[in-house]
Amino acid sequence: MEIIIKPIGYVKSELKTSSFQEDVPIHIKKEKSRLKYHKIKNTISELVIDIQYEDMLDGVETFSHIIVIYWPHLLSDEQKKLRKVHPMGRKDLPEQGIFATRSPARPNSILISSVELLERKKNILKVKGLEALDGSPILDIKTVIQINDDIENPTFPDWVYQIQKDLRKEN
């Protein structure tokens, strides 16, 4: 079966290059990951939605957060063949299967991010915290509805807690 997905728009962002790198010392990678995390959480991007879909955005501005589904257009075919990775490229963390991570390297490189919606102007949504690179095709947008998306008592592996701890460290 073949599935054809057509973009509904594209991302305008100051993020121009991927940080997909393996051969960086762990102490540097931890620091770069932390700095990148803080930069991304504060990055303001625009979602430029094709004008033909503008009326489909009606009401979205009443939500504080949306989920952006996008395609990592600069990912190489070789990267899409990876089957296991160290989360965030950190070799101090155990290697995991691609489907156990948020790595963009996957057979169908569909990525999602929950972001803060700052404003809507016609067919353009201004958001905060999107990791997508400039020019990334947008596949869909969904609203965050806590009633539907809230999971009571979720569990995570230890490496997720380690990443969160490292990302939250203050200088």
pLDDT tens digits, one per residue of 110-127: 999 999 999 999 999 999
The CATH number of the domain holding residue 99 is 2.40.30.70
Residue 73 resides in a domain: yes
pLDDT digits (tens, 9 = 90+) for 24-79: 344 444 555 556 666 778 899 999 999 999 999 999 999 999 999 999 998 888 88
Q: 19 vs 15, 35, 154, CA distance in Å?
A: 10, 12, 29
Q: Which two tokens stand for residue 20?
A: 């997909």
Q: Would you say residue 93 lies in a domain? A: yes
**Could you give the 3-state DSSP secondary structure of residue 30?**
helix
Among the residue ranges 19-23, 30-34, 87-91, the one predicted with the least confidence is 19-23
**Interval 123-171: pLDDT, tens:** 999 999 998 999 999 999 999 987 776 777 888 899 888 888 887 774 4
Say how many domains are in the chain.
1
Is residue 2 assigned to a domain?
no
Q: How many other CB atoms are found less than 10 A from the CB of residue 144?
A: 16
Tell me which of 46 and 104 has the higher pLDDT: 46
- Which is it for strands 65-70 and 111-121: parallel, antiparallel or unpaired? antiparallel
Does residue 1 fall inside a structural domain? Answer: no
- Specify the pLDDT at position 19: 55
pLDDT at 28: 44
- Residue 140, pLDDT score: 98
Q: Is residue 4 one of the residues assigned to a domain?
A: no
> What values do phi and psi take at 150, rounded to 5?
-75, 130
Its domain, for residue 45, covers: 9-146+153-168
Interval 76-88 mean pLDDT:
87
pLDDT higher than 50, residue 21: no
Q: Give the pLDDT of residue 26.
A: 42
Residue 75: closest CA among 131, 142, 140: 131
Task: Answer yes or no: is pLDDT of 13 > 70.
Answer: yes
So what's the pLDDT on residue 35?
A: 61
Beta-strand relationship, 137-143 and 65-70: antiparallel
149 compared with 87, residue with greater pLDDT: 87
Contact between 124 and 64 (Cβ < 8 Å): no
